[in-house]
Amino acid sequence: QSFKLLGFLDVKSVPCARESVLYGSLGSLVVGLGHFLATSRVRRSCDFAVGGFICTMLGYWFYCRYNLAQHRIRQRMLKEGMRNKMLFEGSSLDPERKHVGNERSDS
């Protein structure tokens, strides 16, 4: 079973969606309660709470997606490096192989 936020955002399968909603809820609570304690104005505090939810959720969404993209890039580079290591190991194209000026031929 999946939970769709606003009818289109599947929180269970979209990366970073669940954490963004949870942090947005926490941000909403902190901002709304803080504004209420400072001013004692209920309606204005609710407005601030909604704004806090949106800002916190979007901020964490972009932060999480950026880190996820970086992680995927690092994984791809590591995978390609491991493939190249296996492909070129022991050959003359191996970057770790020490090249001597007067290499002897085995023939």
User: In this predicted model, what pLDDT tens digit does every residue of 6-38 receive, in sequence order?
Assistant: 666 677 777 888 899 899 999 999 999 999 999
Within a domain: 45: yes
In angstroms, what CA-CA distances link 46 with 24, 31, 36, 54? 14, 9, 8, 12
Residue 3 counted as domain residue = no
In a domain, 100, yes or no: no
Instruction: Please report, for residues 5, 53, 79, the alpha-carbon distance to residue 19 in angstroms, rounded to integers and kept in the order given.
Output: 13, 13, 28
94-99 contacts, C-beta under 8 A, 24 or more apart: none
Q: How confident is the model at residue 1 (pLDDT cuts 50, 70, 90)?
A: low
Q: What are residue 9's phi and psi, to 5 degrees?
A: -95, 105
80 belongs to a structural domain: yes
Structural domains of the chain, count:
1
pLDDT, tens digit, for every residue of 50-78? Answer: 999 999 999 999 999 999 999 999 999 99
pLDDT given for residue 75 in this prediction: 95
pTM for the model? 0.69
In a domain, 105, yes or no: no
Give residues with Cβ within 8 angstroms of 85, minimum separation 6.
none
Residues of the chain with pLDDT > 90, as a percent, come to 54
Its domain, for residue 63, covers 15-86
| Mean confidence (pLDDT) of the chain | 84
Let me know if residue 67 belongs to a domain: yes
The answer to whether residue 32 sits within a structural domain is: yes
Tell me whether residue 2 is in a domain.
Answer: no
Which residue(s) pair with 5 in the sheet? 9
